[in-house]
A and B are shown apart, each in its own frame.
Chain A
Amino acid sequence: MEAQHNITLPEGSIEKKTTTLNFGPTHPATHGVFQNIMEIDGERVVSTEQSVGFIHRAFEKLAERRNLYQITPITDRLNYCSSPLNNMGWHLTCEKFLKVETPKRVDYLRIIIMELARISDHLICNSIVGVDTGAYTGFLYVMQYRELIYEIYEEVCGSRLTTNIGRIGGFERNFTNTAFTKLEKFLNEYPKVLKEFESLFTRNRIFMERTQGTGGISAARAMNYGFTGPNLRATGVDYDVRVANPYSSYQDFDFTVPVGSTGDNYDRFLVRNAEMWQSISIIKQAYEKVQEFKGTEAEIFHADIPAYYLPKKEDVYNNMEALIWHFKIIMGEVDLPKGQIYNPIEGANGELGFYLVSDGGRTPFRLHFRRPCFIYYQAYPELITGGMLSDAVVTMSSLNLIAGELDA
């Protein structure tokens, strides 16, 4: 780092030497706790070094002393803009590890929740890109509709931001009619809003000038850097875990994987917008499929796995078997099978992987989260070097860096 300071600049530069600028960790333009020590020549970035870990909370260590169901609230706090995706990813990992088959209705309900979470995450990211280019209106306008998504979460699980939604095997309770009413309201109102949001930005001259050609990366470099999700797709690689390794019955759905070409901020914005349209379509399809379940089938909201899924409370009071399972689950007395698993899902900003190692104990022997942010933030210097400082801000927000996920 020392060698990097005060680089002598060639003839014709504004200054004789570069200036060191501490960008962050609590700068309003960093949207989270990110520090960058930048060397700048006038307004041009010459080099930068990122410094991360400001909100590291040792999740992997914590997980080694917790039962599977106690790890779900930890995953909430990874990418807190789309907690349900992390929760579902964790449940799916456990289910795959324990070889649990979930009923179709559970898969479809999960897809509704996961795609809602994807919309709310992309919505934040894209509207923040707008804020950083000077357009506050879009952000304020769409916040109201993220609120509708949060109300659906609230109806399903009781909380809004750190959701702890679902359980291993399914959901903690069935979706209420109010939840479906709210979902219908969202599906009716949101497309118009997204259309309006797009017409504010997509062909806006100022926005295009600010985002096109900044923060770009080639497909080969992006792959080498481990990019996944919208950021990789913006470079033209059509890799989506939902298609490559379908989970939770994504194979039953009809959707396309939008890709960009230049991998710059504008393409990332377009890819995220296009993905929101795809998510709306997936939610509509899933809702139709859910409505096809009638009678007792419509009562199914979890798989039958007594060793991991808590019994109904009235059964716990009146039924010995249920009481035993309730006690065993809460006290964490269920031994896990031995083995290892790596299970990826398509998180809102890329491949969110869970690597679980079990030695047959009651808690994971080792749990590693593959956090997409952590991996692609490495490329940040390459994306911004040579560009303007103000473009570095836009690049940071269009990468969709979430400090909670990055620092784990």
Chain B
Amino acid sequence: MALTNETIQAQLEAKFEGQVTAFSTETGMLSFESPAALNLKVMQYLFDELGFSFLSDLCGVHYPDNTDSELVVVYHLHNFVENIRLRYSIAVPVAKPDVFTASKLFEAANWMERETYDFFGINFVGHPNLKRILNVEEMDYFPMRKEFPLEDQTRIDKDDEMFGRG
């Protein structure tokens, strides 16, 4: 049976009984969410049953305004045989950003999770070597979080209101 976005959605809904939610299709790519604790179960199911055996991308996003789900981990998975991609995201609170590591499922996730930890401080539980990768090890903050503005906000000689977010 050929996989389509609809059949994937139907199978996920049947398997996880309403736990996998927020289905949408934007520019042809199916995306959905689930509670953070389910991430390995969902990805294992996608890997074993639906053939999503290639992790294209894993990254974090910080939404400071979403209380208790500030940090989001986004997985892009790819099924080579059916040539279909999907986006799967989970959200965790910034106070306790614990996510189970996918590095046992995909070797590729190892460094991508280290990068996500490095920039967003998401703690990948069970990761074999969770330490900073691109930044210096002495760094004590997570620079891609939105509370760190790119430019020095104390400067008063420059009005940046015209250029997007201040």
Contact = CB atoms under 8 A, between A and B. Distances in A.
B107 A225 contact: yes
Interface in B35-87: 53-57, 59, 61-62, 74, 76, 80, 83, 85, 87
B113 to A, nearest CB: 11
Contact of A342 (B85, B108, B119): B85
Given A53-B134, A226-B108, A361 B53 contact: no
Contacts of B29: 341-342
Interface in A215-273: 221, 223-226, 237, 239, 244-245
A355 B74 contact: yes
- Dominant SS among interface residues on chain A: mixed
A221 B80 CA distance: 15
A363 to B, nearest CB: 4
Q: Which of A56, A357, A366 has the most CB of B within 10 A?
A: A366
Q: Which of A226, A362, A377, A378 is the most central at the interface, judged by chain B CB atoms within 10 Å of its CB?
A: A226
B134 A357 contact: no
Contacts, number: 106
Interface stretch (A62-70, A107-115, A124-132, A385-393): A62-70
B165 A361 contact: yes
B165 A370 contact: no
B76 A342 contact: yes
B106 A224 contact: yes
A61 B144 contact: yes
B154 interface: no
A96 interface: yes
Interface residues of B, number: 39
B61 to A, nearest CB: 5
A213 interface: no
Contacts of A332: 162-164
A190 to B, nearest CB: 32
A52 B131 CA distance: 12
Contacts of B136: 53
A184 to B, nearest CB: 36
Interface residues on A, range: 35 or more
A237 B80 contact: yes
Given A237-B80, A353-B76, A62 B57 contact: no
Interface in B143-166: 143-144, 150-151, 162-165
Contact of A53 (B31, B85, B110, B133): B133
B150 A375 contact: no
A58 B31 contact: no
A375 B111 contact: yes
A316 interface: no
B135 A56 contact: yes
A36 interface: no
Interface in A365-408: 365-366, 368, 370, 374-375, 377-379, 407-408
B135 A339 contact: no
A171 to B, nearest CB: 24
Interface of B: 26-27, 29, 31, 53-57, 59, 61-62, 74, 76, 80, 83, 85, 87, 106-108, 110-112, 115, 119, 132-136, 143-144, 150-151, 162-165
29 contacts: A53-B135, A53-B136, A61-B143, A62-B150, A65-B164, A223-B80, A225-B107, A226-B54, A239-B80, A244-B80, A244-B83, A331-B163, A332-B162, A332-B163, A339-B26, A340-B31, A340-B87, A341-B27, A342-B57, A342-B76, A351-B56, A353-B57, A357-B61, A362-B164, A363-B163, A365-B61, A370-B57, A379-B107, A408-B134
Given A226-B56, A342-B76, A362-B163, 17 more contacts: A56-B135, A61-B143, A65-B150, A97-B27, A224-B108, A225-B108, A331-B162, A331-B163, A332-B163, A341-B26, A342-B29, A353-B56, A355-B76, A362-B165, A366-B62, A370-B57, A375-B111
